[in-house]
Amino acid sequence: MNTLLAFLFVLGVLVFVHELGHFIAARRHGVRVLTFSLGFGPKLLKFRRGDTEYCVSAIPLGGYVKMAGESPDEVRTGRPDEFLSKTKWERFQILIMGPAMNIILAIVVMAVVLAQGAEVPVYQDQPPVVGAVVPGSPAEQAGIQRGDLILDVAGDQVDTWEDLFIAVGTRPGRDVPVTLRRAGRTQSVTVRPVGETRFEIGNIGVLPDINPIVASVIAGEPAERAGIRAGDVVLAVNGERMVTRTQLIEAISRNGGREIELTVRRDGRQQRIRTTPEQRGDRGMLGVYVTEPTRSFTPGPLEAIQLSVQRNIEFSGLIFRTLGGLLVGETSPRQLMGPVAIAQLSGESAQAGWIALFTLMASISLNLGLLNLLPIPVLDGGHILIMALEGVARRDFSMAVKEKMLLAGFVLLMMLMVTVIYNDLTRISWIERLMPWRN
């Protein structure tokens, strides 16, 4: 139920803001709006105010604003309050305002989220110097070593770890050229990222040069009896280098009832500590809380807005790069998400708190705004393209030509919808088990 409510909240806000943009622009230019609907299909709730009927419809996967004289196949009276009676510039403003409102919403919501402050990994904006290579990973197979500085991935310059994760994450299952610098010399290797998680995020198995930190020790537990202290930096377990919090937890968990040797750094000096995790259920426990090196991040209001604009520009570049990758076969279609996946993410984000939910909302709003600007008939960008082509041709296209263009756009969108729904269903384990070709 929480997942459904979170999904309806996120989608409802995004659709409302999008259609509100069209509505405000239409009213501003004197276009009569007949219907403002959240959802499609049968109308569940409705009321009329002036010339406009406001309603909530049964299928909550979108919405629409119906304007007088909007479609060429309607009987036109020539009244000045009809959509097609307006100039192309005025119609352009009405069409563009829906996507523009989604983009504005993404900036505002992200600014609110950023203004709350956060703890971010210290390595996130540092150069991607390899601190560790996961055994058996694509990076190890390609010969990448600790200390290598990764310069670019498939021609895309990567200045930070965040850039690297994005560049690799969008290219699972593809041979990717990677340029790195080792001992002052530049060389290239080819790596094939493996798709991980249900969203097929590419990973090559390189980790930053960090170590997990003991945040606190529980009294009376094995860690305290062995002399482990809060603030200890865990360098290795049984000689295996520890880089992430998850890696350390897994190393402790699989050694329940067996003595292990921890190499820690305390006050600038290394120490070796022997202890035995207690077996509890199916995992070993030491009685420590572990974290990773982070830095505090609390911008002021103006800085939050600037950072939000910057981050949304970066995300926009990633969206267009992903779309371009789909066209040339560089990006896996498995990374596309549909309504089911969005509902799952909404539920998970709602459980994590309002900041996670609003972050997801900002991301989806930006995607919705940009995708609606694509020059595909049926979408806002497609209608803008048709108007632009009519402007270049200095004549309006015939109804037959427009119908063919809209049909082509509809078919393309249906193909895309089938793809994303199929992806969504394969991410549900019990449904995937019913697909023999995926087993």
Question: Per the domain annotation, does 88 fall within a domain?
Answer: no
Answer yes or no: do 169 and 192 share one domain: yes
Question: Per the domain annotation, does 159 fall within a domain?
Answer: yes
Looking at 207, 222, 244, the residue that finishes a domain is 207
What is the residue-level pLDDT of the chain in tens, covering all 439 positions? 677 788 888 888 999 999 999 999 999 999 999 999 998 889 999 999 988 999 999 888 788 999 988 876 666 677 888 998 899 999 999 999 999 999 999 999 999 998 888 777 788 888 999 988 888 899 999 999 999 999 999 888 999 998 999 888 888 888 899 999 998 899 999 999 998 877 778 899 998 988 899 999 999 899 999 999 999 999 999 988 888 888 899 999 999 889 999 999 998 899 999 999 999 888 899 999 998 887 787 888 888 899 899 889 988 887 887 777 777 666 666 666 667 667 777 777 777 788 888 888 999 999 999 989 988 887 899 889 888 888 888 888 877 787 788 788 778 777 877 777 777 676 666 566 666 666 5
Answer yes or no: do 191 and 239 share one domain: no
Q: For residue 198, which phi and psi values (nearest 5 degrees)?
A: -70, -5
Per-residue pLDDT, 432: 62
Looking at 292, 318, 351, the residue that finishes a domain is 292
- Residues near 192 by beta carbon (within 8 Å), at least 6 away in sequence: 138, 173, 174, 175, 176
* Number of other residues whose CB lies within 10 A of the CB of residue 24: 16
Cβ atoms of 345 and 359 within 8 Å: the answer is no
Beta-sheet strands, E only, within 276-324: 278-280, 283-285, 288-291, 294-297
Question: Per the domain annotation, does 117 fall within a domain?
Answer: no
Per-residue pLDDT, 424: 66
Cα 118 from Cα 116, distance rounded (Å): 7
Q: Which of 371, 374, 372, 377 is nearest to 397 (CA)?
A: 377
Cα 171 from Cα 187, distance rounded (Å): 21
Please count the structural domains in the chain: 2
Tally helices (H) and strands (E) across the chain.
12, 20
Catalytic hit among 19, 82, 200, 292: 19
Note down the domain range covering 257.
213-292
* Number of other residues whose CB lies within 10 A of the CB of residue 430: 6
Answer yes or no: do 189 and 171 share one domain: yes
Answer yes or no: do 223 and 253 share one domain: yes
Question: Per the domain annotation, does 138 fall within a domain?
Answer: yes
For 125-283, where are the alpha helices, taking DSSP H only?
Answer: 138-142, 161-169, 222-226, 245-253
Backbone conformation region of residue 120, classed left if phi is above 0, alpha if psi is from -120 to 50, else beta:
beta
Looking at 292, 325, 358, the residue that finishes a domain is 292
Cβ atoms of 192 and 205 within 8 Å: the answer is no
Q: What's the predicted TM-score (pTM) here?
A: 0.75
Answer yes or no: do 281 and 217 share one domain: yes
Q: Reply yes or no on whether 19 is catalytic.
A: yes
Answer yes or no: do 139 and 165 share one domain: yes
CA 269 to chain CA mean position, Å: 41
How do beta strands 52-67 and 283-285 pair? unpaired
β-bridge partners, 273:
262
Beta-sheet strands, E only, within 103-200: 118-121, 132-133, 149-153, 156-157, 176-182, 185-191, 194-196
Answer yes or no: do 266 and 280 share one domain: yes
Question: Per the domain annotation, does 57 fall within a domain?
Answer: no
Distances (CA, A) of 195 to 10, 171, 339, 427, 435: 27, 8, 21, 13, 20
Per-residue pLDDT, 276: 92
CATH number at residue 256: 2.30.42.10
Question: Per the domain annotation, does 194 fall within a domain?
Answer: yes
Q: Which of 121, 168, 118, 114 is nearest to 144 (CA)?
A: 168
Answer yes or no: do 203 and 218 share one domain: no
Per-residue pLDDT, 429: 66
Answer yes or no: do 219 and 288 share one domain: yes
Cα 273 from Cα 282, distance rounded (Å): 24
The single-letter DSSP state of residue 175 is: -
* Number of other residues whose CB lies within 10 A of the CB of residue 267: 8
Question: Per the domain annotation, does 228 fall within a domain?
Answer: yes
How do beta strands 294-297 and 260-266 pair? unpaired
Question: Per the domain annotation, does 273 fall within a domain?
Answer: yes
* Number of other residues whose CB lies within 10 A of the CB of residue 426: 14
Per-residue pLDDT, 337: 67
